[in-house]
């Protein structure tokens, strides 16, 4: 629903710029913003018996974490300046579309990842249910 509303707003803005002669530059800028919106508007996290899977926006950008590779998992708060999107931070890779709360995975190979979520307890419990070893919370 959110994508429809924002997409409609972008369409109306493009029509406004076109009708008032702002030119191709503004249309290109808004087209790039619309593409970013489609790619990063939402983050879906799914947990099954083998993987924790991430899917951004319409599904072009994906990432999987094997459950048996997770050493520990815990709820963390990201500093505001970590921002949103996919980025490398001092605390490992961050996958986030909104908010500051995340789940941090410390993989058995030493890598760290953070996944932003609006339901940290639900995601933590879902991952704990499918992990072969009980993870440390940290």
- What is the predicted pLDDT for the residue at 85? 86
- What is the predicted pLDDT for the residue at 101? 94
The series of mean pLDDT values per 10 residues for the chain, 138 residues long, is 69 75 72 81 88 89 92 94 90 91 93 93 91 61
Rounded to whole angstroms, the Cα distance separating 69 from 121 reads 20
Rounded to whole angstroms, the Cα distance separating 134 from 45 reads 20
- What is the predicted pLDDT for the residue at 2? 59
Closest CA to 73 of 5, 135, 4: 135
H/E stretch holding 94 reads: strand 92-96
Cβ-based neighbour number of residue 123 at 10 Å: 19
To the nearest 10°, report the CA torsion of 130, 125, 89, 101.
160
CA distance between the termini of the chain = 36
Rounded to whole angstroms, the Cα distance separating 124 from 2 reads 26
- What is the predicted pLDDT for the residue at 123? 92
- What is the predicted pLDDT for the residue at 137? 52
């Amino acid at each position: 629903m959110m994508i429809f509303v924002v997409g409609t707003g972008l369409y109306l803005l493009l029509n406004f710029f076109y009708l008032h002669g702002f030119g191709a530059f503004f249309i290109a800028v808004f087209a790039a913003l619309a593409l970013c919106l489609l790619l990063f508007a939402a983050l879906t996290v799914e947990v099954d018996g083998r993987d924790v899977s991430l899917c951004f926006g319409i599904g072009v950008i994906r990432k999987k974490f094997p459950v048996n590779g997770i050493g520990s998992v815990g709820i963390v708060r990201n500093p505001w300046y970590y921002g949103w999107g996919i980025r490398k931070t001092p605390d490992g890779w961050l996958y986030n579309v909104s908010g500051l709360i995340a789940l941090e995975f410390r993989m058995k190979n030493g890598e760290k990842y953070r996944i932003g979520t609006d339901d940290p307890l639900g995601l933590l419990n879902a991952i704990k249910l499918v992990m072969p070893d009980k993870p440390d919370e940290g």
